[in-house]
A and B are shown apart, each in its own frame.
Chain A
Amino acid sequence: MMKRELVIIGAGPAGLAAALAAYDNGIRDILIIEREKRAGGILNQCIHDGFGLHKFKEILTGPEYAYRYLKKVQERKIEIMTSTIVTELRAEKYLKVINEEIGILEFKADAVVLAMGSRERTAGGISLPGERMAGVYTAGLTQNLMNLQNIKVGNNIVILGSGDIGLIMARRLTLEGANVKAVLEIMPYSNGLNRNINQCLIDFNIPLKLSHTVIDVKGKDRLESIIVTEVDENLRAIPGSEYEIECDTLILSVGLIPENELSKQADVQIDDITGGALVKDNLETNVPGIFACGNVLHIHDLVDYVSDEAENAGQAAAKYIKSGHKWRKNNIFVEAGDGINYVIPQLITLGKDLEFSMRVKKPASDKTIKILNNNELIAKNTFKKVNPSEMIKINLAKEKLLSLKTASIKVVVE
Chain B
Amino acid sequence: MATRPGRRAAIVAGLRTPFVKSGTSFRGLTALDLGRIAVSELVQRCELPPKEIEQIVFGVVIPIVQWPNIAREVGLAAGLPKTIEAHSVARACATSLQALTTAADAIALGEVDVAIVGGAEAMSDVPITYSRPVAQAVVAAAKGKTLVEKLKAFREISPRDLLPVPPAIAEYSTGMSMGESAEKMAKENGISREAQDAWAHRSHTRAARAWEDGTFRKEVMRVLVPPRFEEVVVEDNVVRKDSRLEAYANLKPVFDKKYGSVTAGNSSPLTDGSAALVVMAEEKARALGMKPLGFLKEYAYAAVDPAWQLLQAPAFAVPKVLRRAGMRVPDIDVFEIHEAFAAQVLSNLQAWGSKKFAEEHLGGGEPIGEPPEEKINPSGGSVALGHPFGATGARLVHQALRQMSARGLGTALVSICAAGGLGGACILTRE
Partners in one complex: no
Q: Which residues of B contact A (CB under 8 A)?
A: none
